[in-house]
Chain A
Amino acid sequence: MPEHPLLDSLGICSDALITVQNKYRFGGPVLLKIDTATVALGKDIARQILVEEVAS
């Protein structure tokens, strides 16, 4: 997990269940669904997050 105070506050923390809704090309962000909230994360920080895929 990259160190950024906002990530944890937005619910992006270890053991969180997150769905990727959309990816944007040309260095764009990823669009995530966390519980009911939609959050966009810039590519530079999103690529540092380690994820484990789970079946939906």
Chain B
Amino acid sequence: MSSCHQIQTDTRVFELENKILLIGNPNVGKSVFFTELTGIHAISSNYAGTTVTYMEGELVLDGTNYTLIDVPGIYSMTASSEAEAVAVQFMESGAVALLCVLDASNLERNLRLGLELQKYGIPIVYALNLMDVAERRGYEIDVKLLEQELGWPVVPTVVVKQQGLKELKTALKSVISREDSGEVSSKPLNFDTRVRAREITRKVRKHNNSSLSRLDRLGSRMMQPFPGIPIAILVMLLSIGVVVGAGKALRAVLLLPLVNQVLVPFFRTLFTSFIPEGMLLNILVGEYGIFVISFEWIIALILPYVFLFYVVFSFLEDSGYLPRVSVLFDNIMRKLGVQGGSLINIVMGYGCAVPAIIGSRAASSRKERLIISTAVCFAVPCISQTGALISLLGNYSAWLLAAMILFSLLIMVTATLIAGRLIDGTVEPLIIEVPNLLIPEPKAYTRKLLIRMKHFVYDAELPMLLSIVIAALLKETGLLDAAAVYAEPIVSRWLGLPSEAVIALILGIVRREMSVAPLLALNLTPLQAFVGATVGLLYLPCLSVFGVLTKEFSVRVAVTISTLTIISALVLGGLINQAAHLFI
């Protein structure tokens, strides 16, 4: 998933003319506006910090092209964080207009930023978003009065339901074409934003003493240790259950028959009809042929789990549940040397380590980012690898799988504690805004799921195919047998695996699941499967992760983490094997 994230800030974007900046507090829906206005899909979630860098897209108003820029969410213009620094840079580079998104359910704080932006003298349109949530909470906002107080157009919106977008475009056109924007902005600009925001809020907002809605009550109950913690455990078990259970069902009912009875026989017949028997045919459709394992591994093994993981994860993200878990478990995370907010990144790592490491930018200190990245690289299998692990261990017994899950948690705790000791720096305490609990909007949710699957197909397909081609070539040319001889002391004597398992170690460098998938065909004993799973789990995440570690930190960090993962994989895997043999 690396290509979807722009990592470096391109200075060219500051020089663009006709810029419109989409700006506002974190988690007010800016990325949804961006998607709706430009047609470019930006990933949005229901918590602060989903957009860790800007995105740009084209917005056409009456035949004129503008560049709309989705600026990361900020609370103020003090440039105190990376995101705020980016925002200040954009503001100072000049723009034809600002589209400032305000959260209607949290008016006072949002107005502070809204007012602060006026000091830059750029025409503004305010989108008063989340009107539905404000109403649900019993708040009534006098939009006309707010418009007067602010001196710029205010458009009420519910962007996830596409409400108010047309009015928003009209308002943007009018402020851009308004020559004498001096008239409205001639008001004194040296006011104290905090005082003024409170004043305006008091004037325009009325609270009807309505009782809390069911969803709001559930939202706050989820944050009390009881029933919050039981609920969290239930949600976790349910999530695992859905991914594992539905994944197995999908495989058994749909994908395995499709692959084994339709796709593989089809290509086998096709190629056998015009290619003579020999190495080439074997490379294509032999036991390890490209057209055999690419279907078996990618379609039947990996895809169902990737899809189901994002079905569950995207739902949790959009509902606003994850920050609640962060708060509940901050005490445990704090003892591990990080803060509760990191939990979101770690959970994200169970999908793919790349967005988890990039997303950790939202964490405040470098030390914390390094700890999270280390934990993810060591002990958090990405969903593709999880799929392979479930098949490998689940074939023997559910207990073996459960043991692996517990073991991986143990490794995570250990890695986090050690990293915390060794890395210099400080970890900032938890400061997190808890979003409203929402039922994900079906349209936005489906779109997000589609983007994620598309990214997976685009970004993971190539390395997967590459490793499959390598596998087929190694196996069918006999090179693998040669390599197996050299690796024998480590693979067979130390790890106790069949010497062909060396292929897992070679492919595992390219993709994380490939350190497990080849083991499936080797008829391992339960002990061998557990050792193989341990090695695969700890082993170097994958080439993309190496790349992202280099970009986000440095080559040194990437090399250090990779070396340590490989060493610990071989050492720990071997120790388990040797220890087990003492007793058996």
What's the least CB distance linking A55 to chain B, in Å?
Answer: 20
What's the least CB distance linking B337 to chain A, in Å?
Answer: 12
Question: Which residues of A sit under 8 angstroms from B431, Cβ to Cβ?
Answer: 4, 6-7, 10, 39-42, 45
For residue B107, CB closer than 8 A to chain A, the reply is yes
For residue A44, CB closer than 8 A to chain B, the reply is yes
Question: Which residues of B sit under 8 angstroms from A19, Cβ to Cβ?
Answer: none
What's the least CB distance linking A18 to chain B, in Å?
Answer: 13
Question: Which residues of A sit under 8 angstroms from B330, Cβ to Cβ?
Answer: 24, 28-29, 40, 42
Knowing A5-B78, A24-B328, A25-B225, the reply to whether A42 touches B109 (Cβ < 8 A) is: no
Q: Which of B80, B323, B326, B331 contacts A27 (CB 8 A)?
A: B331
Q: Which of A34, A38, A41 contacts B430 (CB 8 A)?
A: A41
What's the least CB distance linking B508 to chain A, in Å?
Answer: 38
Instruction: Please state if B139 and A36 are interface contacts (CB–CB under 8 Å).
Output: yes
Question: Which residues of B sit under 8 angstroms from A27, Cβ to Cβ?
Answer: 331, 334-335
A interface size (C-beta, 8 A): 31
Interface string of A25-56 (1 = CB under 8 A from B): 11111010011111111111110000000000
Q: Which of B80, B106, B109, B434 contacts A40 (CB 8 A)?
A: B434
Q: Which of A13, A38, A44, A45 contacts B434 (CB 8 A)?
A: A38
Q: Which of A9, A21, A31, A43 has the most CB of B within 10 A?
A: A9
Given contacts A29-B340, A41-B429, 12 further A-B contacts (CB under 8 A): A5-B76, A6-B81, A9-B75, A21-B223, A24-B331, A27-B331, A29-B330, A31-B434, A36-B107, A37-B109, A37-B433, A40-B433
User: What are 30 pairs between A and B in contact, CB < 8 Å?
Assistant: A4-B431, A5-B76, A6-B81, A7-B431, A10-B433, A11-B108, A11-B109, A24-B327, A24-B331, A27-B331, A28-B328, A31-B223, A35-B106, A35-B108, A36-B139, A37-B433, A39-B433, A40-B323, A40-B432, A41-B429, A41-B431, A42-B334, A42-B339, A42-B428, A42-B430, A43-B331, A44-B334, A44-B429, A45-B429, A46-B429
A residues sitting closer than 8 Å to B (CB atoms) are: 4-11, 13, 21-22, 24-29, 31, 34-46
B residues sitting closer than 8 Å to A (CB atoms) are: 75-76, 78, 80-81, 105-109, 112, 137, 139, 194, 201, 220, 223-225, 323, 326-328, 330-332, 334-335, 339-340, 428-434
